[in-house]
Amino acid sequence: MKKIVLLSSLILLPVLLRAQEDPWRLDNLLKQALERNPKIRAAGLTAEASSFRVPQAKSLPDPMVGFTLKNMGFPEFTLGKEVMSGIGLSFSQPIPFPGKLRLQGEIAQKAFEREKEVRNSVVLGVLREVKTAYFELYGLQKSVAILQEQKAVLEKAQELTETKYAVGSGAQSDVLKAGVEVSRMDEMILPMVEMINSLGARINLLLDLPPDRPVGTLAGQSVESLAPSLEALKAAAEASSPMVKEASLMVAEGETMVSLARKELRPNFVVGGGWEFKGRLPSMYEVMVGFEIPLYARTKQAKMLEEARTRLQSSKSGLASMKNDVTVMVTEDYLKARSAEGLIRLYKDKIIPQASLTVESSMASYRVNKTDFLALLADINTYFSYQIAYYKELVGLWSAIARLEESTAQEIVPWGGTNEVKD
């Protein structure tokens, strides 16, 4: 049994030493994520690429330049001899009906703005992932420290059982039970160390760093409550959420597409001119103005208008749905945060102090044979389980706030810096 304990300690030692040597700060990690995350870079480049569509959409169609050669008969070259023979050069420019180019530019601009909101949504999502992974990692590190402290207390209890057994006032079964409890701590710690390394790798990948970069020590946050009200968070989410903004831009884009579809019922124009060289004969000039005839409007332009109107209704429904979804997410995370707040205060102010006194009393009673060893074990395990539960609720509160920050696109807590707890 002692070999197993020694082996697990040797496994944990490098992780703990690396953590002490390389501290991690949440504000630094968030800054690195903004600078290095590939998903953010990709979304930013996609938005930038869509900006180049705006001038394209507002530009006139490409003109056409033509070259002609007319000759009467074959094989004799009749330029300058026959009035119908000549070498011609022509130019024509299609011109959309007034207003079409402007509407096309507005549609492209709305699409560009939507891509920017998609990029903003990606940024908030990545930051939320870094925060929640950081908080989970912090909770695991605290849990490992608590279990190690629990192990030390159990080892003291084990020494007490051995002493009592040596003088004939204790039972051998108590010694064995204490040994099992000490070993159980290692059994609980080892999977947590694997989870710590896994979460560290996730954070490293979010920062586009090698996944095997050593995990550093994490500082806690002094946040134990959520200041904003539910109504304020709902209003902020509806006004600032990139997902809601994107859906709103879809509606605005749909309205512009309906206007453009109406304009498509109006004809486009073509203007042109030409010059024809006839050798010794007088040159010819021509000017041309033409327009399209919407001959198939019932099956083409009219259907385009119906499609635009249907898509607009779909976008409006999507906007309403997105607002509802964001409201539900904000409400759920708010309630989770409030629930965690209450449990945090309960654990911190009442349960943990009372459980600590219970352990002290139970340890003293066991020394004088006023309680059995199983009761002592139960009190020790209960006390440390409450400590782990406290940090679990703390992590739950911080994660809920991180999700609220993503939904509202606002900084509710200035993570890092002066709000860090000196662990």
The three-state secondary structure class of 201 is helix
The b-or-e profile of 99-119 (16+ CB within 10 A means b, else e) is ebbbbbbbbbbbbbbbbbbbb
Tens of pLDDT, residues 95-123? 999 999 999 999 999 999 999 999 999 99
Strands 220-221 and 269-277: unpaired
The three-state secondary structure class of 60 is coil
Domain assignment present for residue 78? The answer is no
Stated length of the chain: 423
Are the C-beta atoms of 319 and 251 separated by less than 8 Å? yes
Mean pLDDT of the chain: 89
Q: Is the pLDDT of residue 73 over 90?
A: no
Query: Is the C-alpha dihedral spanning 399, 404, 407, 412 positive or negative?
Result: negative
CA distance 281 to 119: 66
- Across 146-168, average pLDDT: 87
CA distance 151 to 144: 10
Q: Which amino acid is at 1?
A: M
Domain assignment present for residue 94? The answer is no
Domain assignment present for residue 273? The answer is no
DSSP state of 74: S
How far is the CA of 67 from the CAs of 63, 123, 261, 276, 361, in angstroms? 14, 54, 35, 9, 106
Are the C-beta atoms of 319 and 282 separated by less than 8 Å? no
The three-state secondary structure class of 51 is helix
Query: Which run of H or of E encompasses 289?
Result: strand 284-291
Domain assignment present for residue 156? The answer is yes
Domain assignment present for residue 167? The answer is yes
Are the C-beta atoms of 226 and 334 separated by less than 8 Å? yes
Q: Write down the residue that tokens 């600032």 correspond to.
A: 240
Number of folded domains that form the chain = 1
CA distance 247 to 47: 16
CA distance 318 to 250: 9
Domain assignment present for residue 371? The answer is yes
What distance lies between CA 269 and its chain's CA centroid?
48
Tens of pLDDT, residues 345-401? 999 999 999 999 999 999 889 888 888 888 999 999 999 999 999 999 999 999 999
DSSP state of 413: S
**Residue 228: what pLDDT?**
92
Q: Write down the residue that tokens 């249907």 correspond to.
A: 310
pLDDT band at 420 (very low <50, low <70, confident <90, very high): very low
Q: What is the CATH number of the domain that holds 56?
A: 1.20.1600.10
Q: Which amino acid is at 399?
A: S
Of the listed ranges 6-10, 67-71, 126-130, the least confidently predicted one is 6-10
CA distance 383 to 154: 12
User: Which structure tokens are listed for 67?
Assistant: 């070259």
pLDDT band at 6 (very low <50, low <70, confident <90, very high): very low
**Choice between 163 and 134, residue whose per-residue pLDDT is larger:** 134
269-277 β-sheet, strand order? 64-70, 86-95, 269-277, 284-291
User: Which structure tokens are listed for 76?
Assistant: 């004799």
Give the Cβ contact number of residue 387 at 10 Å.
21
Are the C-beta atoms of 408 and 241 separated by less than 8 Å? yes
Angle at 238 between CA 237 and CA 243, to 5 degrees: 80
Domain assignment present for residue 39? The answer is yes
Q: What's the domain range around 365?
A: 2-61+101-268+296-421
Which residues lie below 8 Å from residue 155, measured CB to CB, with a gap of 6+? 182
pLDDT band at 315 (very low <50, low <70, confident <90, very high): very high
Tens of pLDDT, residues 119-136? 999 999 999 999 999 999
**Residue 11: what pLDDT?**
40
Tens of pLDDT, residues 264-296? 999 999 999 999 998 888 999 999 999 988 889
**Residue 217: what pLDDT?**
86
One-character DSSP codes across 115-150: HHHHHHHHHHHHHHHHHHHHHHHHHHHHHHHHHHHH
One-character DSSP codes across 304-363: HHHHHHHHHHHHHHHHHHHHHHHHHHHHHHHHHHHHHHHHHHHIIIIIHHHHHHHHHHHH
Which residues lie below 8 Å from residue 398, measured CB to CB, with a gap of 6+? 131, 135, 221, 223, 413
Domain assignment present for residue 227? The answer is yes
Give the Cβ contact number of residue 146 at 10 Å.
18
The three-state secondary structure class of 271 is strand
Tens of pLDDT, residues 319-352? 999 999 999 999 999 999 999 999 999 999 999 9
